[in-house]
């Protein structure tokens, strides 16, 4: 038994928050749908505390370079794609996707050290990924984001994609992996099962839930009745989550894949994106599945807005005071730390398998009472 003195219990808990590091996470980061970069023009991306330029050459490969020309500092994102090279708008120096200057039209030769930073990219499942590593090492094959079968199949919809800028540190997004309670209070869902598994570079959240009847919007007469959902959501590295999300309706299940991903602009802001595809079926053929995916996307986007509103006003806290039902916040942050240290400094505890199933008995009983009280209060007000 742990004995706590009166002086200890009366002590004020002080919020601790270290200065945010300007180091950005090692890993694959999604910059958005790849088709948006395939128009033969250079595109500006502000990421990892600097300005980048994205362009596709005639060979079809999408390239990412530092945006400023090493000659006289011209902005390459204002330049022109010429063949497989990006021409600087200032003096027409031609830069290849490998970061080397390929030619200078007015010069007999290219200086030996004419090289800029080039970022390794991957065009996969309709999304563009870029590899970031402060140490400059190439990505190990085993950390590549897994392919999503539905993204390339005709019996699934196309991606419905959203993007927004959030002005806070990216760690706030990651904390949601273990935060069961906020789903009830912020997103108006009702978790009934919640489990986390961390291992290697993957952090997984398994959750079953149902809608809160006291906050659910009235369904139209011809709309299918939603009874619950099942979710297996995994972060593959520091910034890209794949959620195999099943919505349970009366008479059928809707299979979908939700992407929740982000990349840092700087240490105090990031681009938050979501993408969703849904599987077509005899219950949801063709256009019906497309419309459902759009509806689901709006719902997911509203959930992001709810999170952002909290993040805008909350304090950063390194020593959160937790109760028994709060989930493994510290263990998640220990897992997350592996992406912010040199590879040689990764502690085995950061990558060792950790598994925790949260006991939902108390939360479910409490939330059920709250829902019933809210419904009774609303019915009483309506009848008076």
Tokens encoding 91: 């003096």
| Residue 118 and residue 98 in contact, taking contact as beta carbons nearer than 8 Å | yes
Question: How do the domains of the chain map onto residue ranges?
Answer: 38-119, 158-372
Residue 5's pLDDT is what? 62
Q: Compute CA distances 182 → 142, 187, 274, whole Å.
A: 33, 7, 19
Return the pLDDT at 222. 66
What is the structure's pLDDT at 199?
98
| pLDDT confidence of residue 31 | 98
Confirm whether 38-119 and 158-372 share one CATH topology. no
Please, what is the end-to-end C-alpha distance for the chain in angstroms? 52
Residues 6+ apart with CB under 8 A from 359: 325
Q: What is 158-372's CATH superfamily?
A: Naphthalene 1,2-dioxygenase Alpha Subunit; Chain A, domain 1 (3.90.380.10)
Contact 48, 264 (CB under 8 A): yes
Segment-wise mean pLDDT, segments of 10 residues, the chain, 384 residues: 62 93 97 97 98 98 98 98 98 98 97 96 98 97 96 94 96 96 91 97 96 73 78 98 93 92 97 94 86 85 90 95 95 98 98 97 94 91 85
Topology of domain 38-119 in CATH is Rieske Iron-sulfur Protein (2.102.10)
pLDDT of residue 215: 81
Q: What is the pTM of this model?
A: 0.93
Q: Over the chain, what HEC string results?
A: CCCCCHHHHHCCCCCCCCCCCCCCCCEEEEEEEHHHHCCCCCEEEEECCEEEEEEECCCCCEEEEECECCCCCCEHHHCEEECCEEECCCCCCEEECCCEEEECCCCCCCCCCCECCEECEEEECCEEEEEECCCCCCCCHHHCCCCCHHHHCCCECCCEEEEEEECCCCHHHHHCCCCCHHHHHCCCEEEEEEEEEEECCEEEEEEEEEECCCCCCCCCCCCCCEEEEEEEEEEECCCEEEEEEEEEECCEEEEEEEEEEEEEEECCEEEEEEEEEEECCCCCCHHHHHHHHHHHHHHHHHHHHHHHHHHHHCCCCCCCCCCCCCCCHHHHHHHHHHHHCCHHHCCHHHHCCEEEEECCHHHHHHHHHHHHHHHHHHHHHHHC
Check residue 224 and give its pLDDT.
74
| Burial grade of 7 (CB within 10 A; 0-12, 13-18, 19 or more) | exposed
């Amino acid at each position: 038994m742990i004995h706590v003195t009166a002086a200890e219990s009366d002590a004020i808990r002080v919020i601790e928050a270290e200065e945010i590091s300007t180091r950005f996470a090692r890993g694959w980061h999604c910059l958005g749908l790849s088709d948006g970069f395939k128009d033969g023009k250079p595109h500006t991306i502000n990421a990892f505390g600097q300005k980048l330029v994205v362009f596709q050459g005639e060979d079809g490969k999408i390239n990412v370079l530092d945006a400023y020309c090493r000659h006289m500092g011209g902005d390459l994102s204002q330049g022109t794609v010429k063949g497989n090279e990006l021409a600087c708008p200032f003096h027409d120096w031609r830069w290849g996707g490998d970061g080397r200057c390929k030619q200078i039209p007015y010069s007999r030769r290219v200086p030996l050290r004419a090289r800029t930073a080039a970022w390794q990219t991957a065009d996969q499942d309709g999304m563009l990924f870029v590899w970031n590593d402060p140490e400059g090492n190439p990505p190990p094959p085993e950390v590549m984001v897994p392919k999503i079968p539905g993204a390339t199949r005709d019996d699934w919809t196309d991606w419905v994609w959203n993007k927004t800028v959030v002005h806070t540190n990216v760690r706030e997004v990651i904390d949601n992996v273990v935060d069961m309670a906020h789903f009830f209070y912020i997103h108006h869902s009702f978790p009934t099962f919640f489990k986390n598994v961390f291992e290697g570079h993957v952090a997984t959240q398994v959750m079953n839930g149902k809608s809160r009847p006291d906050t659910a919007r009235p369904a139209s007469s011809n709309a299918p009745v939603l009874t619950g959902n099942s979710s297996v959501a995994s972060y593959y590295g520091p910034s890209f989550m794949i959620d195999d999300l099943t919505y349970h309706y009366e008479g059928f299940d809707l299979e979908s894949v939700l992407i929740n991903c982000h990349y840092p602009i700087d240490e105090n802001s990031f681009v938050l994106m979501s993408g969703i595809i849904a599987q077509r079926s005899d219950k949801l053929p063709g256009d019906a599945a497309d419309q459902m995916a759009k509806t689901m996307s709006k719902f997911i986007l509203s959930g992001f807005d709810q999170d952002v509103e909290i993040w805008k006003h909350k304090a950063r806290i390194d020593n959160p005071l937790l109760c028994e039902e709060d989930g493994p916040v510290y263990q998640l942050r220990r897992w997350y730390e592996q992406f912010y240290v040199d590879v040689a400094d990764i502690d085995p505890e950061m990558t060792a398998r950790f598994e925790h199933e949260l006991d939902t008995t108390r939360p479910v009983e409490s939330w059920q009472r709250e829902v019933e009280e809210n419904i009774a209060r609303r019915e009483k007000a309506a009848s008076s």
